[in-house]
Amino acid sequence: MGYIRLYGQFLRVAILGKVQYKADFFVGIVSVLILNAVNLSLIGILVYNFNTLGNWNIWDLMFLYSFWMLSRGIYGVFFWHLSDLEEMIVNGTFDAYLVRPVSPFLQFIGKDISYTGVGDFLVGFLGFILAGTQIKLQWNAGQWIYFVICVLSGALIQVAINWVGASLCFWTTRSGAAVSIAERFTVLMQQYPVNIFGRYFQIFVTCFLPVAFINYYPSVVLLHKAEGGLQIWQYFSPLVALLMLVIAAFIWTKGVGRYAGTGN
C-alpha cells in the first residue's frame, strides 16, 4: 500500500505539471483524434473494396480497433514515457533514481503522464459504443467482466513489450531503434485481424511476440469469430500479460543491477 500511495503522489505532481499547459493538452487530444480518424478511414476503404477482411466486416474491424484503442489509451496515459529511459541513461539523469530509498522503477514510471492517451481512450470508447450498437452486442455479466479484464491485459502486454525494449539500453545504451520497430509492428498488427495473415506469422504474433493477445483473441472470443471452434488458449490474454510482466520485470532488474554495478 505504501508503494501505491507513493506512486499516487508522483502522479499528482506529474498531472499538476501537465495542466499548466492547457493549449498543449487540447492540441494533443485533437491530433490523436485526427490520426485515429485517418486510420479508421483507411480500414474502411479496404473493407469497401473487399467487402470483408477474413470473416470480419467493417463493424467487427471497428470493434477490433476500438478494443486496441481502449488498452492503448490506458498504456499511453501512464507508461508512454518508457521510451524516455534511453535519453536518461545517455545523459546520466537516471543515476538520481539509484541513490534514493525508493524503487527506481516506481520513480521512473511516476515521473510523467501522457495526455494523448486520453485521446486514444476516448476514440476507443466512442468506437466501441458505435461498433457495439451495430453488432448488437448482448453480453452477459461474465462477458463484460472478461472484456474489462482483457482491455487491462492488453494495456499490460503493451507495457511489458515497451518495458523490455527500454530496458535493453542498460546493455546497449541506445535501444530506440528496437523500441520503434516493436511499436510500429504492434500498431500495424492491432488494426487488422490476425487470420488474414499466413500460418507462420500467426504463430509468431501468438507465441513469440504475443501482440495478438492485446485485442485479436479477446475479440475472437467475444464476437464468436473462432474458425473451427474456440480453443482454450484463446482466452489467455490475462495469463500472457502476467507472464510478460514477469519477464519484463526480470530483465529490468538485471539491467538496473548491471548499470549500477558498472559504475554507470
Q: What is the pLDDT of residue 16?
A: 60
Whether residue 210 has pLDDT greater than 80: yes
Q: How far apart are CA 151 and CA 222, in angstroms?
A: 12
Q: At what angle do helices 116-135 and 22-50 cross, to 10 degrees?
A: 40
- Number of domains composing the chain: 1
**118-166 pLDDT per residue, tens:** 888 888 898 899 889 999 999 999 999 999 999 999 999 999 999 998 8
pLDDT at position 223: 93
Type of residue numbered 261: G
**Higher per-residue confidence, 16 vs 119:** 119
pLDDT for residue 19: 58
In this structure, the chain runs to a length of: 264
Which are the contacts of 174, defined by CB distance < 8 A and separation ≥ 6? 86, 90
> Distance between CA atoms of 69 and 19, rounded to whole angstroms?
23
Residue with cell 478511414: 41
pLDDT tens per residue across span 30-76: 776 777 677 667 666 766 666 677 788 888 988 999 999 999 999 99
Q: What is the mean pLDDT of the chain?
A: 83
Residue 196 β-bridge partners: none
What range defines the domain where residue 197 resides? 2-261
> Which DSSP state fits 84?
G
Q: Is residue 262 over pLDDT 60?
A: no
Q: What percent of the chain has pLDDT over 70?
A: 81
Give the amino acid at 231. Answer: Q
Q: Of 30-39, 86-95, 108-117, 229-238, where does mean pLDDT reach its minimum?
A: 30-39
User: Which of 45-49, 82-86, 189-193 comes out lowest in average pLDDT?
Assistant: 45-49
Residues 103-127 have a mean pLDDT of 84
Cell numbers found for residue 127: 468506437
Nearest Cα to 147, choosing from 63, 226, 206, 231?
Answer: 63
Can you say whether residue 213 is alpha, beta or left, with left for phi > 0 and alpha for psi between -120 and 50 degrees?
alpha
Contact (CB, 8 A) for 6 and 102: yes
pLDDT of 248:
96
pLDDT at 90: 85
Residue 10: the pLDDT is 56
